[in-house]
Amino acid sequence: MKNTDVLPAAVLRRKAVVYVRQSTQTQVQNNLESQRRQYELVEEARRRGFVHIEVIDDDLGRSASGMVARPGFDRLVAWLCAGEVGAVLCFDASRLARNGRDWHHLLELCGLVEARVIDLDGVYDPCRPNDRLLLGMKGSISEFELGVLRARMFEAARAKAQRGELRISVPIGYVWHREIGLGFDPDLRLQEVIRLIFARFRKLGSARQVMISLTAQCH
């Protein structure tokens, strides 16, 4: 539908849901402008005529790839199934989903209850073939972008590995040394604990038995 079209009264009587999401904790801590712009969609919902507006930001720091649980997205789906939602507002398609399964499931539910999808580009009615086609393309582009990002990250990591410069996260108690590579943390207490764990494992032969033994020792 056009940006200037007035939303039906039946839609406005339901609630508008503003879905706020960022993929990583680093983005949550550092990319505050993106958060601010997403929260500003509340004003956009009011401008469209909604009175009851809910913000879902449970999924801040969670990827939309479909590989991790998203309680906020699940709550949105539950509200849609209950017919409580008149519109879903998001910054762009990638905020809602980066995989086709979740995206098309959401569009199907919006179409069933005649809820609208609103982003920075306009208002979409999934019941209309043209709007549904455009939303489908947005979801496909979002999924494609995620694939490109993953491929670039993999190629960069492989190039670093070939040069011997790849550094991965190491467990607590270990650090990367510039001269010798992986080694113990300088903290002597950590070194002692690590040596105790490995000594106990050699004796008991099971990580579970090590945990039980150390727990009993602490108590």
So what's the pLDDT on residue 2?
Answer: 52
Instruction: State if pTM tops 0.95.
Output: no
Mean pLDDT confidence for 148-160: 85
Residue 171, pLDDT > 60, answer yes
Phi, psi of 164 (to 5 degrees): 75, 25
Q: What's 168-191 look like in SS3?
A: CCCCCCEEEECCCEEEECCCHHHH
What is the model's pLDDT at position 1? Answer: 54
Residue 163, pLDDT > 90, answer no
Average pLDDT of the residues of the chain: 87
Q: Above 70 in pLDDT, residue 155? A: yes
Question: Residue 167: pLDDT above 80?
Answer: no
Q: Average pLDDT of 47-65?
A: 90
Which of 25-54 are b and which e, b meaning 16 or more Cβ less than 10 Å from the residue's Cβ? eeebeeeeebbeebeebbebbeebebeebb
pLDDT at 3: 56
Q: Which of 23, 63, 140, 213 is catalytic?
A: 23
Q: What is the pLDDT of residue 92?
A: 83
Which residue is associated with the tokens 């699940």?
Answer: 74
Q: Let me know if 63 is a catalytic residue.
A: no
pLDDT band for 77, please (50, 70, 90 cuts): very high
- pLDDT at position 80: 94
pLDDT digits (tens, 9 = 90+) for 4-43: 568 999 999 999 999 998 888 888 888 788 889 999 999 9
Mean pLDDT, rounded, for 128-153: 86
